[in-house]
Amino acid sequence: MVSGVSLFSPDYASARARFRAAALRAGAAHDALPLAARGPHDESLTIDLAWLGTRRPRRVMLHISGVHGVEAFAGSATQLALLAAPPPLPADGALILTHVLNPYGMAWQRRANEHNVDLNRNFHLGHSTWTGTPPLYRRLDALLNPTSPPARDAFALRLGAAGLRHGVRAVRQAIAHGQHRYPRGLFYGGAELQPGPRLFIDWLRAQLPGAASLFAIDLHTGLGPHAGNTLIVEPGIGSAPLAELSRALRQPLEDSSTAPAAYAVRGSLGAALPGILPGAGVEFVLQEIGTCPALRVIHALREENRWHHYGDGHLDHSAKRCLLEALCPAAPAWRDAAVMQGTNLVYRAASWLFRDEFS
Ligand SMILES: [Zn+2]
């Protein structure tokens, strides 16, 4: 098996080129959904999809990388490993790899998309609306989103003081919940469904009308202990009882509303999937490969956001490098571990989804 490290690409353009070449080598069908936004070298941006197995699947394993742009480096590497050694597929099964749902964020080394929207706060369907902001976020806005370029301003100390005053858990929940009030702020959920999610939803509906079971894995990096593997499920999602799923994945599952490491989120991709494919039984797991302490991640996100809005935003800047290191550490051991955790979860989920019920 190739080392995980060698599967990491230095930028979006090379990651996409490698993904397309690997899909071709694997005999996968390939699709690309074009976005209007451009990369830093004026390159085009696409959400790429590689499809292995039958074109009319009843059971679908769906893997998604790069909902949070810059977090896609580990997801892209994992998908290259999966194309080189895919899990066995039954006659009614397909494996679909979604390469970088937020290509703008990967290309520009941002977590948000071309409209500063956090796509995992943007998947509102049906009756949901793009409004609402936790009251505590409003109080933290000036601290989280200064209207100036990056600078030392005792952020850690001030956030610590806010934690003492309001409770660390309440502060964490208020920040990460998603907000619809500050378009230049962190964790902004947007005012409408974003182009990337819209294209992806339409594609899923058009391509998978006959799917009876869908197992989706959404790969992220950042949350949890360094190189650790945290699996988070959406409350109320999934046709399999939690214990059964946990056994199949040989891993404890955390519920985003109760897990100490996590927080409840509005407008997540996982919560939207059953509404996107109402005919399918949906299982969904958000996989987090941990990187560094949460305070360092939020600080790096904050400084990069200042650089994007109030600096000139180019890639050759410490704010960009710090964010990349906070969400995709350069350490070879971390990169190897990330690809191993990423591929293992797919193999386990696939062997459960594609189990022979009649044996
Ligand atoms: Zn993420």
The single residue listed with the structure tokens 């390159």 is 43
Query: Residue 78 in contact with residue 1, Cβ under 8 Å?
Result: no
Is the pLDDT reported for residue 311 higher than 90?
yes
Q: How far is the CA of 48 from the centre of ligand 1 (A)?
A: 19
- DSSP-assigned beta bridge partners for residue 53: 94
Q: How far is the CA of 335 from the centre of ligand 1 (A)?
A: 16
The mean pLDDT of 303-310, rounded to a whole number, is 98
**Bridge-partner residues for 188, per DSSP?**
179
| Dihedral angle of Cα 325, 1, 352, 90, to the nearest 10 degrees | 130
What pLDDT sits at residue 359?
A: 41
CATH topology assigned to domain 5-131+194-353:
Aminopeptidase (3.40.630)
pLDDT (tens digit, 9 = 90+) per residue, 125-155? 876 688 899 999 999 999 999 999 999 999 9
Dist. CA 90 → ligand 1 center (Å): 31
Question: What pLDDT is attached to residue 125?
Answer: 86
Q: What is the DSSP string of 128-185?
A: --S----HHHHHHHHHHS-SSSS----HHHHHHHHHHHH-HHHHHHHHHT-BSS-TTS
1 has pLDDT over 90: no
CA of 219 to the centre of ligand 1 (A): 8
Using the mean position of ligand 1's atoms as its centre, give its distance from the Cα of residue 207 in Å: 26
What digits encode the pLDDT tens for the residues 185-222?
A: 999 999 999 999 999 999 999 999 999 999 999 999 99
Say how many Å lie between the CA of residue 16 and the centre of ligand 1: 19
Q: Is the pLDDT of residue 262 over 80?
A: no
53 phi/psi in degrees, rounded to 5: 100, -170
Could you give the CA distance from residue 122 to residue 191 in angstroms, rounded to a whole number? 8
pLDDT tens string 28-75 = 999 999 999 999 999 999 999 999 999 999 999 999 999 999 999 999
Quote the ligand 1 centre to 91 CA distance (angstroms).
33
**pLDDT surpassing 90 at residue 256:** no
Q: What is the mean pLDDT of residues 261-287?
A: 90
CA of 120 to the centre of ligand 1 (A): 8
Alpha carbons within 13 angstroms on the beta-carbon side of residue 136 total: 17
pLDDT band, very low/low/confident/very high, at 258 (cuts 50, 70, 90):
low
Name the more confident of 293 and 128. Answer: 293
- Specify the pTM: 0.96
Beta bridge partners of residue 285, listed in sequence order = 217
Report residue 106's pLDDT band, with 50, 70 and 90 as the boundaries.
very high
Residue 54 alpha carbon to ligand 1 centre in Å: 30
